[in-house]
């Protein structure tokens, strides 16, 4: 997407913004730390300006390779600055489109069921809380959500800090499963998401979260959710510069706190649709922004997470084209983690059970395209052509059987039969077929990844942690 010259221009513009405009940091200890490490700080205005040599030093200590651990090694995710692609599950919806077609508030039961459902998806590699339950107290809810995720998935998973105490509470809860804090920090099976704000702004609580995560050395997503034309310049190039300056400064701060802190360059940015005065996650320009940002992250040898949900409100034709174009472009562009990849609709506000399986299907097709074609002596098939000859049939040949599952993507929901066969089988559309599979999976898949004693202890600690938050309020 970007040429070497484009990347160079964005890099130079970023340095200019960092050195001449700076970042507003609403946290005096962080400003003091930045000043001690060579930044030019105006404490009255809370502005830190970052010279090039400070940024270079920080990037030298930020690891290019980060391992996220599953409950079994088969589910480990290894991130680096190459074009290896993984996906992360959907995130943060407060409403659910359930199997009866009702749009209703999300519940804790939905979180359990959707986590179990996504746990079986072969094209989802990192779990996320697809819903934020609305039937529990919202203050400190991240503790309950975190504990729920720990118990119901075998994959590494994502969480949000919920303030600096939330970071400490997550470590305490996760240490139960790891059987010790030292063991947890040696092989962390979750990552914390620290969101910074555009343009060029770190609120106090976000800085406190960043510092606390960095102290522990837990893998950290440093995420900006820019809106091009509203919180950043209207042009994609201008947004790339603002994002780059904002995220790189946060990476530098994390390295000042604890050199070697694993940082993942992350965005969930989009454009402002001026016609409807609303953010668009799935516009073509939003996808271009993510592909180009991936190149910038890799220029600094940092792993990258990008990706948005669709703008569509239903699992319909709009959803299909938005998801397919976005997934395929990000996968071809080498996005290390495609974010919010399963289950979301309506720009992350809505979660859908059927959508989890529909997204998994679209991802499977996208990954097959990215895989490409193998050309060697055997796949060229000259000997097979000699054996079968003109007007022959290859269906029963050993060569066909050998490559049947190696070179063909086998869809789970896509129907390729003729009309008559489809009609005999109930004439179901893709959403109907997905609904049937969801019902079957939720009936059959009841994993037990954590012992009953550990589950009770995880719940006890999580509930106590939330209670302390509620009492402070």
Q: Is 395 within a domain?
A: no
Q: Which two tokens stand for residue 420?
A: 């008559």
Q: Does one domain contain both 55 and 66?
A: no
Q: Which residues contact 178 (CB under 8 A, 6 or more apart)?
A: 184, 187, 189
Does this model's pTM top 0.85?
A: yes
Whether residue 171 lies inside any domain: the answer is yes
Smallest Cα–Cα separation from 202: which of 248, 264, 145, 166? 248
pLDDT at 447: 86
In a domain, 380, yes or no: no
Do residues 48 and 152 both lie within one domain? no
8 A C-beta contact, residue 327 and residue 266: no
Query: Per the domain annotation, does 279 fall within a domain?
Result: yes
User: Tokens representing 409?
Assistant: 């993507």
Residue 119: both structure tokens together = 């746990």
- Give domain status of residue 353, yes or no: yes
Question: Are residues 206 and 245 located together in one domain of the fold?
Answer: yes
Residue 160 exposed, middle or buried by CB count within 10 Å (0-12, 13-18, 19+)? buried
Which residues have a Cβ under 8 Å from the Cβ of 272 and sit 6 or more positions away?
Answer: 227, 228, 229, 230, 234, 278, 279, 280
Q: 211 and 73, same structural domain?
A: yes
Domain that holds residue 39: 4-59
Q: Which residues contact 318 (CB under 8 A, 6 or more apart)?
A: 310, 311, 312
Using alpha carbons, select from 295, 392, 422, 345 the residue that is nearest to residue 101: 345
CATH number at residue 259: 3.20.20.480
**Whole-Å CA distances, 326 to 142, 262, 269, 323:** 29, 27, 13, 5
> 208 and 321 share a domain?
yes
pLDDT tens for the 473 residues of the chain, in order: 999 999 999 999 999 999 999 999 999 999 999 999 999 999 999 999 999 999 999 999 999 999 999 988 999 999 999 999 999 999 999 999 999 999 999 999 999 999 999 999 999 999 999 999 999 999 999 999 999 999 999 999 999 999 999 999 999 999 999 999 999 999 999 999 999 999 999 999 999 999 999 999 999 999 999 999 999 999 999 999 999 999 999 999 999 999 999 999 999 999 999 998 899 999 999 999 999 999 999 999 999 999 999 999 999 999 999 999 999 999 999 999 999 999 999 999 999 999 999 999 999 999 999 999 999 999 999 999 999 999 999 998 999 999 988 889 999 999 999 999 999 999 999 999 999 999 999 999 998 899 999 999 999 999 999 999 999 87
* Same domain assignment for residues 161 and 104: yes
Sign of the alpha-carbon torsion through 312, 327, 289, 79 = positive
In a domain, residue 400? The reply is no
Query: Do 10 and 34 belong to one domain?
Result: yes
Number of domains the chain contains = 2
Q: Residue 131 carries which DSSP code?
A: B
Q: Other CB atoms closer than 10 Å to residue 346's CB: what's the count? A: 20
Are 29 and 69 contained in the same domain?
no
Please say whether the dihedral angle defined by the alpha carbons of residues 456, 457, 461 and 464, taken in this order, is positive or negative: positive
67 shares a domain with 54:
no
Spatial distance between the Cα atoms of 230 and 234, rounded to a whole number of angstroms: 7
Q: Give the CA angle between residues 230, 233, 234 to the nearest 5°.
A: 75
Grouping H, G, I as helix, E, B as strand and the rest as coil, residue 269 is coil
CA 145 – CA 141 distance, rounded (Å)? 6
Whether 37 and 84 share a structural domain:
no
96 is a domain residue: yes
Residue 308 preceded by cis peptide, ω within 30? no
Two structure tokens written together for 415 = 């129907």
Q: Is residue 233 part of a domain?
A: yes
């Amino acid at each position: 997407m970007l040429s070497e010259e484009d990347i160079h221009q964005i890099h130079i513009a970023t340095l200019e913004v960092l050195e001449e405009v700076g970042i507003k940091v609403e946290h005096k200890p962080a400003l003091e730390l930045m000043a001690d490490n060579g930044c030019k700080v105006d404490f009255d205005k809370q502005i830190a300006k970052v010279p090039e040599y400070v940024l270079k030093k920080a990037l030298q200590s930020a690891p290019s390779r980060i391992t996220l651990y599953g409950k079994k090694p088969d589910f480990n995710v290894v991130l680096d600055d190459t074009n290896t692609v993984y996906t992360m599950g959907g995130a943060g919806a407060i409403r659910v489109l359930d199997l009866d077609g009702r749009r209703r508030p999300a519940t804790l039961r939905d979180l359990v069921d959707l986590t179990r459902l996504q746990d079986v998806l072969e094209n989802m590699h990192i779990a996320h809380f697809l819903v934020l339950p609305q039937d529990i107290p919202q203050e400190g809810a991240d503790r309950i959500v975190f504990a729920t995720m720990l118990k119901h998935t075998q994959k590494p998973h994502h969480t949000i800090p919920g303030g600096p105490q939330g970071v400490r509470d997550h470590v305490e809860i996760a240490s139960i499963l790891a059987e010790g804090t030292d063991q947890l920090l040696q092989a962390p099976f979750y990552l914390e998401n620290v969101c910074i704000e555009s343009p060029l702004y770190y609120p106090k609580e976000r800085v406190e979260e960043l510092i606390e995560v960095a102290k522990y050395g837990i893998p950290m997503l440093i995420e900006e959710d820019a809106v091009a034309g509203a919180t950043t310049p209207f042009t994609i190039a201008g947004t790339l510069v603002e994002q780059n300056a904002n995220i790189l400064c946060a990476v530098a701060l994390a390295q000042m706190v604890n050199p070697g802190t694993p940082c993942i360059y992350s965005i969930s940015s989009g454009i402002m649709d001026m016609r409807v005065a609303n953010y668009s996650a799935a516009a073509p320009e939003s996808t271009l922004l993510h592909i180009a940002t991936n190149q910038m992250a890799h220029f600094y040898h940092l792993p990258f997470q990008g990706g948005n949900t669709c703008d569509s409100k239903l699992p319909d034709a709009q959803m299909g084209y938005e998801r397919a174009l976005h997934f395929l472009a990000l996968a071809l562009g080498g996005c290390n983690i495609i974010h919010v990849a399963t289950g979301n609709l309506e720009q992350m506000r809505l979660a859908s059970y059927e959508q989890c399986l529909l997204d998994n299907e679209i991802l499977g097709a996208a990954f097959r395209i990215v895989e490409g074609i193998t050309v060697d002596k055997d796949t060229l098939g000259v000997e097979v052509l000699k054996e079968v000859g003109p007007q022959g049939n290859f269906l029963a040949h050993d060569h066909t059987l050998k490559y049947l599952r190696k070179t063909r993507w086998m869809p789970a929901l896509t129907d390729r039969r003729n009309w008559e066969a489809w009609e005999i089988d109930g004439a179901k559309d893709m959403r109907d077929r997905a609904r049937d599979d969801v019902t079957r999976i939720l009936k059959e898949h009841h994993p037990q990844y954590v012992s009953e004693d550990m589950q009770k202890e995880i719940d006890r600690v999580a509930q106590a942690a939330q209670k302390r938050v509620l009492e402070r309020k």
